[in-house]
Amino acid sequence: MPLWLRKSRAPIEHVTFQGFPVSIESPVGSVRKWTDHQTGETGETTMRHAYGYVRQSEGMDGEGVDCFLGPDEGASHAYIVRQVRPETGEMDEDKVMLGFSDEPAARAAYLAHYTRPDFLGLVIPMPVEEFRRKVHATKDAPGIVRVGATVAQKSEDSALPAGQPFVARVHRGERERPKTAEYATDPGDLGAGRYHTTNIHYARAYAGKLGTVHSGVVALRRALILHSDAAVALASKYKTVEGRTQEERLAGARQMTGDLKAKGYDGLVVHGYEGGAGATSVVVFDPPTQKSQRLMLKARV
């Protein structure tokens, strides 16, 4: 499915799943038709999991928060997918995976309903009871499901680890776009800098058919190395994902990088954040000059 699922018709069934009131629009085995309004492409998707929305909630589109229902009603966590618009990389809305035993199962179920992987943004695991409180809180404060002050506060109160040397072979996907100074850095979830990944398949998916992928070695002297849960807390603190407007998110990304640079870090390394559980994301805060960047990333895939 090249276009994000929308609530295009009235629900055909109301159920209670893991204690959540859910309205199902597309049951398992039903066929959902779609149109990509940017390319004119049309198609059909056979639903492998029931799809609908959580009642008594309100997402970024002004309607209930969308959800897929999996086979494990006893699952301990909900998995919140920050769906993005592939053409721009901007966040679109939340898709919540309920009833999946772990994150790989939730990712696979989400991707099974899309014809390309770059709709999949950050995946945030959240205990079901915590998600219950936060999804219903959107009724009074519509928008994305908030990661929460408790996680962000932990990041604020805890001392960040000391910078460490980091060297790795990485890949950078670049979409076809004008070569201007505007794209010298990429403000995003993990701050403002040059984004790389150790997963070449993820870089290829990001670049798309018209973009390019460059591979090379990145060497940082004082990298801030985190696991995904700590990175989510940091992103929450600076509202790089949860900001209500694009301008607020970009400002948060630049502020985050500025603060980390002031502490002496020259980059951010995050394990398991995006590109799969075994992938590492690397953000270089002060990218090399254009000439040295070409020399470092000279192997074009």
> In the chain, pLDDT over 70 holds for what percent of residues?
78
d(CA 283, CA 299): 19
Mean model confidence pLDDT for the chain? 80
Predicted confidence at residue 150, as pLDDT, reads 38
d(CA 217, CA 297): 7
Whether residue 276 is predicted with pLDDT greater than 50 in this model: the reply is yes
Residue 259 makes CB contacts below 8 A (sequence gap 6+) with none
Query: Is pLDDT larger for residue 296 or for residue 57?
Result: 57
Helix H segments across the chain? 103-111, 128-137, 149-157, 200-207, 228-238, 246-262, 290-296
Q: Is pTM, for the whole model, over 0.85?
A: no
Predicted confidence at residue 179, as pLDDT, reads 46
CA 281 to the chain's CA centroid = 12
Predicted confidence at residue 277, as pLDDT, reads 61
d(CA 198, CA 268): 14
Give me the residue spans of the domains in the chain: 13-141, 153-300
Whether residue 289 is predicted with pLDDT greater than 50 in this model: the reply is no
CB 202 within 8 A of CB 211: no
Predicted confidence at residue 175, as pLDDT, reads 77
Q: Residue 41 region, left (φ>0) first, then alpha (ψ -120 to 50), else beta? A: beta
**Predicted confidence band of residue 92 (pLDDT cuts 50, 70, 90):** confident
What's the fold here for domain 13-141? Inorganic Pyrophosphatase (3.90.80)
Mean pLDDT of 81-101: 82
Give one DSSP letter per residue of 101-143, joined into a string. Answer: SSHHHHHHHHHTT-SSGGG---EEEEEHHHHHHHHHHTTTS-S
Of 36-50, 152-166, 205-219, 228-242, the least confident: 152-166
d(CA 122, CA 82): 5
Query: Is pLDDT larger for residue 23 or for residue 290?
Result: 23
Mean pLDDT of 214-236: 88
> In the chain, pLDDT over 90 holds for what percent of residues?
37
Mean pLDDT of 149-175: 69
Residue 20's SS3 state is strand
